[in-house]
Structure 1
């Protein structure tokens, strides 16, 4: 038996669908609180010292957290080439806006305190806000458009044609998902600040985080209701060969009301995902309001996990539906790399992903503890 045949092709496709979800959830949890802290910076910190406290809570870890974004992009490129081609072409300007905003973060961290000028530092503080708010918003907008379907199609030679525009992505449902993403990550960032700070910064973080948790619950509920009543989902209308070739045009598919809820009707256990999204946000909001300690960040992380997992299990087996030609929609069964490629990647992942987790755990252990104003003003132990 050839080694890669130890795991059959359909199983490998499902494994990589799950691993892609793990990487995206890992990015949302690990780098999500960085984005949330950036979005909160102008509001939870009123003085220069307080702003430096906030910045130094994420300063030592934000670069490592972005590894999850790189891993997710790499996984899409190698495991799901058609998904990479369509999404990075269709969302090109959106991706450019995200990258431009993310570039502001390292520059802001490094240059903010290079001059004593209040105006200089204020401008970089707002740059850090943009670097947190804009990616959080656009990532959510991208998910909202994915749920609605993206205007792409294939010709008979499987050449990709994208018929949408950047401003077409900014539709009401996508913006609702974008606001949900911002609220969710602000809640998560507030939980991190509660864990890492004290005094007035922590107090303000509790206030804004409580509001964000409530908005997360409300927006998640509104998004679900709109998805059921107003936004059509997708379903496959032809027999499926899970081990078939990666050719999206070999199936039939159609749009239908509430189709994204079919998996929940067939497998009620999947309702655990949206339940976790709601309950995690509720628990995090109560923890923030009633002065719970560092456990709030764990509760908000559970909410992030539940909300993102809800999207994945709702859409399965679709990974990127087409709004103009449902037949061209990309699914787990017809948009992956070859059997051998997926197996080699799984082997590499089994080696390197545990190393990343071990190293990340070690970094957080070394950097553990609160950041207070004394550690900023005494000139020792901080970089920003």
Structure 2
């Protein structure tokens, strides 16, 4: 095989991270646009303009979400099983919120009735807010540890409830998820529209960027001084296939900062999250729409990578039995499976990336009222 088992474990950690970042960057501004739809659009034409900024591309952007779920199942089967068991209600809420988007896009314009269209606009708003809120809460709970464990027969036991997830730090992380994608969606609207909508989006982006900056800084301080991190103190050889309880894990406040001490270059990730949000706000003040959008994307990527870098190699830590926590070393598929899927990913990841870039190059340009009127039957 081309790579040894340890190298493949790290490669697949990176692959899943790339897919998550791709999802956050592309489908992320779709969520953000949905959040702003009923707030920035004051009449039907303005709302149609907002919807059609993402109309041609939102379905393709979900490819990153589907690919991420497939990679999670294929590479980290134990994580897939544990997450869908423990976060079942949250995942169902996520799916139902996602259902509102295709139905809202397709059915909103079926009737020229103000109440009908307003109802679907608020449905798209819910479809934009709920997913990043749930993803943020989930990440907040991962950093605190999830209440599950494996018994001697490797049977999974989960003792938490849905309402246990709604703890203060989890809600803070959820608010951060919403604010950062609201920032990303607003900068996208600022780039894709003109006149009154662009001006409203510019002001919204400044506010969302400042909120993101404050929440990310607060979350970082909380992780450093108020959250017990997980630290592996003993484990079998990393190049072997072993079960999660075979390792020993210790808890300590500030342990999630270990990787930043061990590899100082990783400090660039939180700097990117903070600096990107600050630059996005500054670019909006300077009326540089493209710079604002690129900066907000950098901030989103930096925030996602910051969480991943802090937790590595943990994927789903356990608060109930820390030794049962799932990591990149013990929650993975076999060496052969990772090797075969490596080539599949190496083939399809560039295809998805090139397709995404091609679509956006074709659909470039601003969406205006004149453009909607000229293509009224093809537009949402």
Output one character per residue of 1:294-317: Cα deviation in whole Å (capped at 9) or x when no partner.
222111111011100001110111
Is 2:190 aligned against 1:194?
yes
- Distance in 2, matches of 1:355 and 1:377, equals 34
Q: Match of 2:256?
A: 260
Q: Match of 1:209?
A: 205
Is 2:359 aligned against 1:371?
no
- Candidates 91, 99, 106, aligned match of 1:110: 106
Can you give the 5+ residue segments of structure 1 that lack an aligned partner in the other structure?
none
- Candidates 37, 41, 63, aligned match of 1:67: 63
- Candidates 12, 15, 34, aligned match of 2:30: 34
- Distance in 2, matches of 1:382 and 1:308, equals 36
The 5 Å alignment of 1:1-384 reads 4=1, 6-380=2-376, 382-384=378-380
Output one character per residue of 1:100-153: Cα deviation in whole Å (capped at 9) or x when no partner.
011000111111111111111100000000000011111100100010000000
Change (3 A) 1:275 1:139: same
- Distance in 2, matches of 1:240 and 1:313, equals 22
SS at 1:31 equivalent: helix
- Distance in 2, matches of 1:340 and 1:267, equals 30
Contact persistence 1:49–1:377 (CA under 8 A): no
Output one character per residue of 1:211-236: Cα deviation in whole Å (capped at 9) or x when no partner.
00000010000001111111111001
Deviation, 1:290, is 2.0
Contact persistence 2:257–2:310 (CA under 8 A): yes
Can you give the 5+ residue segments of structure 2 that lack an aligned partner in the other structure?
none
Contact persistence 1:241–1:333 (CA under 8 A): no
Taking structure 1 as the reference length, what is the TM-score of the superposition? Answer: 0.97
Change (3 A) 1:257 1:240: farther
- Distance in 1, matches of 2:101 and 2:375, equals 22
Deviation, 1:244, is 1.9
Contact persistence 1:246–1:336 (CA under 8 A): no
Output one character per residue of 1:62-105: Cα deviation in whole Å (capped at 9) or x when no partner.
00000100111101100000000011111111011011011000
Change (3 A) 1:318 1:347: same
- Segments of 4+ moved more than 6 angstroms: none
SS at 1:255 equivalent: strand
Change (3 A) 1:239 1:102: closer
CA RMSD of aligned residues (A): 1.0
- Distance in 1, matches of 2:79 and 2:374, equals 50
Aligned length: 380
- Distance in 1, matches of 2:286 and 2:94, equals 35
Contact persistence 1:184–1:213 (CA under 8 A): yes
Deviation, 1:358, is 1.5
